[in-house]
Structure 1
Amino acid sequence: MAVKYMDLVEVDLGKLAMAVSDWKNAVDKLKTAAENARRGMRAKSDKARWAGANATVTRGFVTKTTKEIADLHTEADSIYQVLNDAHTELASLQNQIKTAVQTDARNLGVRVEDIGDGKVRCYFQHIRGDTDERTQDQLDAKQELESRINRLIAHATEIDASVARALRKSHGSDPRNAGHSSYENLDEVQAERAAELAKLGPEMSDKQYMELNSIMRFNAKDADFSTDFYKSLGGPKDALEFYGRMSLDGTIGDDKRRLALSRQLQRNMGVALASATDPDNKSHLPANWATDFRKLGTQQLQLYPGGSNAPYGYQVLGGILRYGNYDARFINPIAEHVVQLHRENPDRFMGNKPMAPGSDLDWGYNPSGKNGAGYDPLSSVLEGLGHSPEAAKKFFTDEPTVYKEDGTVDKNGTLGYDYFDALNDKDFEWAPDSLVHPGSDEAKHARAMGPDALGHALTAAVTGDAWDADPPELHRDEDTAEIMKKVIERYNVASEEGPPPEGMKDSLAKMGASYIDDLNYSIMDFGGSGDALERDALFENSSDGSTRTSFDEQKARNFMMLVAGDEDGYKSLTSAQQLYMASGLAAFETDEDRGIAFAQNAAKVHGILDESRSHGIREEFKDSEEAQQMLQEQNGEWRKSLVSGGVTVAATAGAAILLGPAAGVVAATAVPLVMESAGSAVSTAYGNHTLEYLKDHEYTNDPQALQAVQDVEKIGERAATQPVLNFAQTTGMSNKEATDLINEIEQSYLAGKTAISNNEKVSS
């Protein structure tokens, strides 16, 4: 039975704490009694020279009594340990749910309603006179709150069920016989139950499958649990065979419920394997698991007796590796081995793809369905690196290790290439990880999945966070910056290697947004040492000097031209740039001259981005029959759609501007930023601010300033001038000074546009 919302909120855990204390006292007393029995009557009984009935009856009674006292101590200790863990976890969950309801919901103006079955719904209360209109940020926040509360309740339900199961097994069914199952902690209970369910394999009912996923969902990151769980499956081969059977069971046919369960298991097993293979965790799997996985990688596994198309170990393992933040010492040797095998024979793992049964194109080892069906382990390990930022950074920077066919190190081997250059080569042959018909349009699309996964791995490597982290956090250092330099040198409009694969474009936009400060720094690329010192002073608040990087003005411009030429890339970089400019100016409110210099450079970047998109539009609409559409785009319709399209920095440039709690201006500033067009708005992920910000600031005292804010046809310049208007006001400029400043900013903006329009393909 599911724990109810009010059960968790109102339960008096003080009573459970008292029970824990009572059991602790019982454990201590029984421990003393057990020791006394063993050292006292049992020792005397063993030494006594009894004969006849005493030798059999009395000695047997003493032995049995001593054992029962010891068993009572074991049972009491097991109950105490489980209840103590349960109290700790439930108290934490109760505190979290109280904060969610009493603070977060109240601040959001949301009510929480119990709808039964361990679920709640959150809704905005109607207030008389209110229009009940909510921003997308508010709706998203409400949904996040509802999901969070429901997760907390589900976690409490899982703990409750585990404790009940442990108490039954500890006590047993015979009231006259103590000492049955014993546990040192709640993790053991949960791992034991997970193992029981896993042994059922595909024979698990949906209800049992849900129970397994529930246990794993809340414990997969716990190394004690995850290590015990994987050991309970057997060895590395047994673990792969279990997952392989479960993934095929979930992806065959059209059972959507089963597919959803297999997707949850895939994620849970990935997160658990990452936890269990981290050698820094107190509990972890032995090192031979990693070497055995590499050995099994090129061997075929018979998942079913007599089955055809037996998968290679790496195909099955790849499905698990797609989720979890792995330690580099575990995943990187696997990733290196897979890349090297692929280089030798790109179709090595494609030969055993089955003929898709009917139209069942999902059948395989990647139930998620993201970037492949799971037959190409290269895409899988790149996705794994995409969720393992530290490992991804090392993968692209450390000296490669050469591996033999069986996954052992070839001490005398030489590679002759590095992974960045090899994977980003325009002629790299990606495998079509799909069951679609060869030669079809869908098969062509299947080859784009590998580059997409590569983009995810590179994003993790240069940002220091998982490619899909929400919210993202930026962790940059010299190595991440060095990889970003290589990205910019490889992907720009002047690259001899050609344009990026379609699947990588969104990742390049994220990477560019994540380095928006260094792109600005690079555009202000002076030659003299004095100028360089002045530039460093302007950017001292935007990133730590040890990680600040100049990509060279021309290379930075060429990169932005490539990325911003695409609509989504333009949205990502422009959103990041607008917020970065506003935040940067906030740091110069007491230094007007530097603030103006910073603003001029930032406006130039805006011009570069806008003209890059204009160039992209010209390329997209070359045909004469589309001239009218091109004209509309050039006249600013595409900029309007940027604003009305609901773009947010959170999804695109969030990592870019979160420069760290100490290093970044953005993290320290309270300046909000929004764009407005025809009554719609785009928030920049600093959520609680709205269009009221602009309206509350009296820009109306300057007609030109007001025009700059309201002129939809000049939205690009508005992106550059809006923060400047705020800067002019906060620094106390007169109307004339503000007007002159706006004119200077517009000139800088036009200079950025001219830098692109004068030479739309600048050679590097």
Structure 2
Amino acid sequence: MAKLTFTDLYGFSFSGLSDAVSDWESVVTELGELADEARTGMAAKAEKADWKGENATVTKPFVRKTAKEFDDAAAQARSIRNILRDAHTDLKSVQADLIKAVEGGREQGIRVRDNGDGTVGFSLDRQPDNSAPSEEQRRAGRDLADRIDRLIARAEEIDGLAARALKRVHGGDPYNFGHVQYSSLDEVEAERAVKLAKLGPDMSDAQYREFNGLVGANAEDPEFSTAFYKGLGGPEEVLRFYARMSIDGTLGDGEENEGRLGLSRDLQQNMGIALATATDPDNKTHLPASWGEEFRRLGTRQIDLEPGPFGPQPYGYQVLGGIMRHGDYDADFLTPIAEHITQLHHDEPMRFTSNRPAGMGDADLGYNPSGRGGAGYDPLTSVLEALGHSPEAAERFFTGDPTVYREDGTVDKNGKLGYQYFDEFLKEDFEWPPDSLAKPGTDGLKDALEHGPNALGHALEAAATGRAYDSQSTEPIEHTSERAEFTERLVAHFGEHPELIRHNENLKDEKFEDLKSGPLHVLRDSLGNITAEYIGDFQRVMYGGDPLSGRFPVHGEPAVFDSGQAQRFLAEVGQDPEAYATITGAQQAYTTLLVDGVVNGESKSTVHMDQRISNAVAPGAVIAGIMSEARADAILDYHSASAKDYNEAAADRGKWVTRVVELGTSLIPPRVPVAGEAINWAAEDITESVVKSVEKDIVTAGEQEGSRDYGKARSATIEATDEIVRRALLGRSDINSETAWDIREAAATQAGNSYGEGSMWEASGDAS
């Protein structure tokens, strides 16, 4: 059979399939009525009849069988209707995604061509200056072609599944209705996925790709995900299947296994998202709560993967951890598992890592085929990663009342924990397990000791911000009182103990012999993201502002920090290049909104505008001063980062700027025409302006590589402030140019002074 092509899908009209669905809707109704009549009429009368002889032995069973055939015919019609209906819906959705992708590519100058074999190629328009396409454009073209190829493959998969299901429903017997029944195409797809899963590692690469296509396309569908996991058998069968497939992909090293490794990585992600969907009680269709209880019971039991005493026998939690690294899990499912694993670790830190294979496989891979953040032999790292993707569960884990669990995962109602998870993970002597097969003394083992703290940072970030740590969404999330209080506790903890997150690579210098690296320094990028999320609260505390004044708007409950703790916290966190770029971008974006609110917003204040603008720029400038000194400390004193690191970190900070801007866009009033030109400083304009300013600011670090140039960094802050004020004043045609210059000069002076205050606070040791 010829493969479905791009042209087939792009221009296909689904009106015929839509008509078929309508026709089968009518057939279902009519057959349903006939079946009801046969059941309540002919069959009911035959059953009541007092027949003797042949009437009793022949006619009555015939009537009974005939009535059942009407029921079977109605059921078969419903299955056909269900399959055609869902196939129509899914194919239309795929076609819509295809058209959207093509149109989006066209806007980027990417033209798609049909290769005629189920794949597409692409060509690129020349640049406006007639220059050749850039490598970035070529990469975008390849990404678009790959996305379209996947959509075509998905459409062909839907078509094939529907065709096979219709054949099974028909059964091939012209004298008998009532074969396999399907309530939806999801059921068909889940059935096929389970059938493939039963093959285990014997799946061919083609079957493996089909399996991943099915689970990946439907992982967020509750009906499919629930049917799929039930079809695998139960929690133990799920763990055994995933473990065998994971080992199949990660065992061995080199190009010969690269294909299977890629397939196992897709499987890991797809099964994780599907499990999160299937265990969410908010979904109409979901797995029972007993699955969570059974996973906890299996957590400390070893699972036999192969026959015989010498095969791998991982603990249940080692395997489950690999699955749960993907997906946003409901707190009722994930938090008890996270608590149980944490309590097991507290009692026996190396319990799970001692159950690792020796001398086999890749040192970085195990039950975590992704290769990111550990090999997957210690579930503590895995479950912290799961919390990092599950904000509700993370918040409950760190702020709720702990539940004590026995070793078998059952609740110990009379048990006393004696510690809180927040304090447990953030203490200096917490024993982080090396989740790796690397040998002692190698760089691989050194890196492995950072996997756990890094995952902890992700979990803390999710709990504080209310979003998954790697979420690309820029939609503002309201700060609940629990999140705000949790963030206050974080800032206070590291503000009082900044040495826990210090990173010093210059230990040979006697000047720094007592300033060793803290065990949690890898948290700083996550702490930088949390700072950006709460930048309004950080700005307010720089001069001791009242959270009830409303001068520093926040989304939800304000967080109240101690000024000294906040300064010390920022001084240490800002030594991380990514955190520096994030915080600098967030503070500039927030300052932009404050200034714009003063210049163009409504106010009953009688204080002169120049003073109010100076008040608005001062807190951000203090933070800028602290950040610049922190950057200089990292580059010049601790040698923990280079100017190049700061430059590279600036590249992907735009999402945090956008989050801050979108939080405060209500502060930006419509612009009035100035000199005949409409001024509309929208969120996109602010984001672009701030990102460029941050990039320019960070370039200054390159000029400071060998010296602590206070003047250049201060000038960069003044220049950024001046641009913020200048752009805000464009909307005020009633302010003459001389007045505007005076306002800008006053703001620049305040920015320079406040920058100096922040720099001195950090440098003097008050903030270090």
Q: TM-score range by the shorter chain?
A: 0.7 to 0.9
Match of 1:614 among 622, 629, 632: 632
1:672 aligns with 2:686: yes
Q: Aligned partners of 2:3 and 2:746: how far apart in 1? A: 65
Residue pair 1:241, 1:303 contacting (<8 A) in 2 also: yes
> What residue identity is the alignment partner of 1:293?
F
Residue deviations 1:596-623, cap 9 Å, x none? 421233233222222221233231359x
Could you say if the C-alpha distance between residues 71 and 383 of structure 1 is closer, same or farther in structure 2, counting changes exceeding 3 Å? same
Whether the 8 Å contact between 2:498 and 2:569 is mirrored in structure 1 is no
* Matching residue within 366, 369, 375 for 1:367: 369
Q: 1:474 to 1:146 in 2, by over 3 A?
A: farther
- The alpha-carbon deviation at position 147 of structure 1 amounts to 5.7
In the alignment, which residue of structure 2 is the partner of 1:14?
15
CA 143–478 in structure 1, closer or farther in 2 if over 3 Å, else same: farther
Q: Which residue of 2 aligns with 1:438?
A: 440
Deviation at 1:743, TM superposition (A): 5.4
Partner residue, 1:538:
551
Q: Is 1:236 the equivalent of 2:235? A: yes
Using the TM superposition, give the Cα deviation of residue 51 of structure 1 relative to its aligned residue in structure 2, in angstroms: 5.2
Asked whether the 8 Å contact 2:222–2:286 carries over to 1, the reply is yes
CA positional deviation for 1:751: 2.8
Residue 657 of structure 1 and its aligned partner are, at CA, apart by 5.0
Quote the residue 1:504 is aligned against: 523
DSSP 3-state at the match of 1:113: strand
Map of 1:112 onto structure 2:
112
Say whether the 8 Å CA contact 1:246–1:262 is kept in structure 2.
yes
Question: Offset at 1:642?
Answer: 4.9
Letter in 2 for 1:539: F
Deviation at 1:289, TM superposition (A): 1.0
Q: Tell me what 2:533 maps to.
A: 514
Q: Give the superposition deviation at 1:511.
A: 1.7
* C-alpha spacing 1:547/1:664, structure 2 compared with 1 (3 Å): farther
- 1:501-550 deviations in whole A, cap 9, x for unaligned? 24322212222222222211221314xxxxx38x834323xx23x42223
Whether the 8 Å contact between 2:9 and 2:152 is mirrored in structure 1 is yes
Once residues 43 and 694 of structure 2 are traced to their aligned partners in structure 1, the CA distance between those partners, rounded to angstroms, is 75
Other structure's SS at 1:339 match: helix
AA paired with 1:619?
Answer: D
Q: Which amino acid aligns with 1:335?
A: A
**CA distance, structure 2, for counterparts of residue 378 and residue 507 of structure 1:** 18
Query: In the superposition, relative to structure 1, how do residues 154 and 456 fare at CA in structure 2: closer, same or farther (>3 Å)?
Result: farther
AA aligned to 1:481 is A
| Partner Cα distance (1:140, 1:420) in 2 | 43
CA distance in structure 2 between the aligned counterparts of 1:464 and 1:738, rounded to whole angstroms: 42
8 Å CA contact 1:356–1:363 kept in 2: the answer is: no
Flag the 1:715–1:116 CA change in 2: closer, same or farther, 3 A.
farther
Which moves more between the two structures, 315-324 or 30-39?
Answer: 30-39
| Equivalent-residue separation in structure 2 for 1:442 and 1:222 (angstroms) | 39
Separation in 2, partners of 1:100, 1:660: 31
CA contact (8 A) 1:675 1:682 kept: yes
Does 2:457 match 1:447?
Answer: no
Q: What corresponds to 1:260 in structure 2?
A: 262
Cα displacement (A) at 1:151? 4.8
- Is contact 1:75–1:180 with CA below 8 Å preserved after alignment? yes
CA distance in 1, matches of 2:211, 2:288: 24
Is the 1:365–1:375 Cα contact (8 Å) retained in structure 2?
yes
**Residue-by-residue CA offset, 1:262-288 (whole Å, 9 max, x unaligned):** 111111111111111111211111121
Equivalent position of 2:544 in the other structure? 525
Aligned to 2:199: 200
Alignment partner of 2:654 out of 650, 654, 677: 650
Corresponding residue to 2:331 among 328, 332, 341: 328
Whichever residue aligns with residue 126 of structure 2, its letter is: H
Contact 1:309–1:353 under 8 Å retained in 2: no
1:72 aligns with 2:76: no
Contact 1:197 1:204 (C-alpha < 8 Å) held by counterparts: yes
For the structure 1 residues 567 and 280, does the alpha-carbon distance in structure 2 shift closer, same or farther, using more than 3 Å as the test?
Answer: closer
The answer as to whether partners of 1:4 and 1:116 remain within 8 angstroms in 2 is: yes
Q: CA deviation at 1:194?
A: 1.1
Asked if residue 589 in structure 1 is aligned to residue 599 in structure 2, the reply is: yes
Aligned to 1:625: none
CA contact 1:97–1:149 (8 Å) conserved in 2: yes
Aligned residues of 1:392 and 1:461 also touching (Cα < 8 A): yes
Conserved 8 A contact 2:387-2:394:
yes
Matches of residues 637-716 of structure 1 in structure 2 within 5 Å? 638=643, 642=646, 647-650=651-654, 655=659, 658-659=662-663, 669-674=683-688, 682=692, 714-716=715-717
- Residue 244 of structure 1 contacts residue 316 of structure 1 at CA under 8 Å; is this kept in 2? yes
Q: Which residue of 268, 276, 279 maps to 1:277?
A: 279
In 2, the alpha carbon distance for the partners of 1:472 and 1:419 equals 29
Secondary structure, counterpart of 2:461 in structure 1? helix
Higher mean alpha-carbon deviation, 293-302 vs 609-618, is at: 609-618
Counterpart for residue 408 of structure 1: 410
SS at match of 2:498: coil
Contact (CA 8 Å) 1:518, 1:548: kept in 2 or not? yes
The aligned counterpart of 2:182 is 183
* Map of 1:699 onto structure 2: none
Q: Is contact 2:125-2:133 (8 Å) kept?
A: no
Is the alpha carbon distance of 1:621 and 1:228 closer, same or farther for their aligned partners in structure 2, counting shifts above 3 Å? closer
Correspondence 1:38 to 2:36: no
Per mean C-alpha deviation after superposition, the further-off stretch among 476-485 and 647-656 is 647-656
Contact preservation (8 Å) 1:462, 1:483: yes
Which shifted more, 736-745 or 409-418?
A: 736-745
Does structure 1 conserve the Cα–Cα contact (< 8 Å) formed by 2:596 and 2:667? no
Kindly tell me: are residues 336 and 600 of structure 1, through their superposed partners in 2, closer, same or farther at Cα, counting changes over 3 Å?
Answer: same
Query: What is the count of residue pairs matched by the alignment?
Result: 710
Structure 1 residue ranges without an equivalent (≥5): 527-531, 623-629, 691-710
Deviation of 1:246 after TM superposition, in Å, equals 1.2
Q: CA deviation at 1:399?
A: 0.8
Deviates more, 1:594-603 or 1:21-30: 594-603
Greater Cα offset, 718-727 or 444-453: 718-727
User: Do the aligned residues in 1 keep the contact of 2:721 with 2:751 (CA within 8 Å)?
Assistant: no
TM-score, normalisation: structure 2: 0.85
Distance 2:457 2:368 in 1: 19
Tell me, yes or no, if the aligned pair for 1:296 and 1:313 is still in contact at 8 Å. Answer: yes
Say whether residues 1:599 and 2:602 are aligned partners: no
Range that drifts further, 63-72 or 10-19: 63-72
CA distance in structure 2 between the aligned counterparts of 1:449 and 1:468, rounded to whole angstroms: 16
Distance 1:683 1:171 in 2: 66
CA distance change for structure 1 residues 408 and 660 in 2, over 3 Å: closer, same or farther? farther
CA shift digits 1:47-71 (9 cap, x unpaired): 4555555555544443333333322
- Paired amino acid for 2:630: S
- The CA deviation at 1:368 is 1.0
Q: Secondary structure at the match of 1:538?
A: coil
SS in 2 for 1:221: coil
The answer as to whether partners of 1:34 and 1:73 remain within 8 angstroms in 2 is yes
**Does structure 1 residue 757 correspond to structure 2 residue 756?**
no
Alignment of 1:295-306 (within 5 A): 295-306=297-308
Aligned to 1:698: none
**Structure 1 contact 523–552 (Cα < 8 Å) conserved:** no
How far apart are 1:406 and its partner, in Å? Answer: 1.1
Q: Which moved more, 1:476-485 or 1:602-611?
A: 602-611
Paired residue type of 1:432 = P
The equivalent of 1:126 in structure 2 is 126
Instruction: Give 1:117-196 correspondences, 5 Å limit.
Output: 117-121=117-121, 124-126=124-126, 129-132=129-132, 149-196=148-195
Matched to 1:559, the amino acid is: F
Alpha-carbon spacing, 1:150–1:487, altered in 2? closer, same or farther (3 Å): farther
Greater displacement, 231-240 / 566-575: 566-575
CA offsets 1:376-427 (integer angstroms, 9 cap, x no match)? 0100110000110111111110011111111111111111111111101111
